[in-house]
Structure 1
Amino acid sequence: MEMISNRPYLIRAIYDWIVDNQWTPHFQIDANYPGTNVPHEYVQEGVIVLNAHPSAVFGLSFDNDLFSFKARFQGVERSIFFPPEAVLAVFARENGQGMPFPAEPYPENSDALAEDKPNLQTVDSEDSDKKPNKKAQSSKKKPTLSIVK
């Protein structure tokens, strides 16, 4: 029998500790992790930070396989959900106290899902004298968490 991950338990515990101290809990989320639904217009470098204070969200659910809640972004209600594996950190806005988590590898079956979708690829043109696009050349980096004291 495979052992259940301790990640959702630790996230819930740190979240409760932050709320009990009357601080504002925030989640740092890998917005590209499979099964994640966050407002992508607020994603920066593949990461989004979400205020999850009980007064800022409703319908909060911390199941072992999926965290979800509803929140307003510029007055528009949005359904947010993500697997615990997408959580890179849970911390208090006021003082940064909390816990970072290592980035999890994407599940193997997420590649199979991607193969079903059309994708765009760059085409090399021998007669093109245009300079290459630096953005196209930059490799996708996994989000990282830096702890600042």
Structure 2
Amino acid sequence: MTSNKPYLLRAFFDWIVDNQLTPYISVDALYPGVNVPQAYVTDGQIVLNIAPVSVGGFAMGQEQIEFNARFGGKLEHLIIPNEAVAAIYARENGVGTSFEVNYPELAEAEESTTESQQKPPKKGKPSLSIVK
């Protein structure tokens, strides 16, 4: 099955905006493919206001969130893979949800570790020897 994260992000975004609140997302800025202004990253995280009145060219798709925003007066184009989003919540009251951020290479490493634990280790070619 496909990830449910894009659907949950969209649902929470719509719900927050429909209630006239300001949607914020917390992003793991170290996740592969994240394009955010590094000067605003703290401890590998960045919190972004994604309210429709605050950003331009907003697109929330199945793979990523993309928009334009101003940082220090400079227009920046941000790209955030959905998997890099750690939380979405309303600024005014903190209501929202959080997500686990799974790095692609860690997920693959865990799968290979699980597979190696399930299969017995392979040994060399069997051989017989005379014992006296």
Aligned to 2:92: 94
Aligned to 1:108: 105
Aligned to 2:21: 23
Quote the Cα distance in structure 1 between the aligned partners of 2:22 and 2:72.
19
Letter in 1 for 2:94: G
Aligned to 1:55: 53
Per-residue deviation, 1:74: 1.4
Per-residue deviation, 1:103: 2.0
Identical pairs, percent: 52
Quote the Cα distance in structure 2 between the aligned partners of 1:67 and 1:56.
15
Quote the Cα distance in structure 2 between the aligned partners of 1:94 and 1:49.
14
Per-residue deviation, 1:65: 0.8
Aligned to 1:46: 44
Quote the Cα distance in structure 2 between the aligned partners of 1:36 and 1:103.
13
Say which SS state the counterpart of residue 108 (structure 1) adopts. helix
Letter in 2 for 1:40: Q
Quote the Cα distance in structure 2 between the aligned partners of 1:103 and 1:51.
19
Say which SS state the counterpart of residue 13 (structure 1) adopts. helix
Letter in 2 for 1:96: G
Quote the Cα distance in structure 2 between the aligned partners of 1:36 and 1:14.
21
The structure having more radius of gyration, on CA atoms, is 2
Q: CA deviation digits over 1:48-95, x for unaligned, max 9? A: 000001000011111111110000111110000111000000000000
Per-residue deviation, 1:108: 2.4
Quote the Cα distance in structure 1 between the aligned partners of 2:94 and 2:20.
13
Extract unaligned runs of 5+ from structure 2. Answer: 107-132
Question: 1 or 2, which has the higher helix percentage?
Answer: 2
Q: CA deviation digits over 1:94-143, x for unaligned, max 9? A: 00001111121x1129xxxxxxxxxxxxxxxxxxxxxxxxxxxxxxxxxx
CA RMSD of aligned residues (A): 1.1
Aligned to 2:109: none
Aligned to 2:5: 7
Extract unaligned runs of 5+ from structure 1. Answer: 110-149
Quote the Cα distance in structure 2 between the aligned partners of 1:89 and 1:16.
15
Say which SS state the counterpart of residue 59 (structure 2) adopts. strand
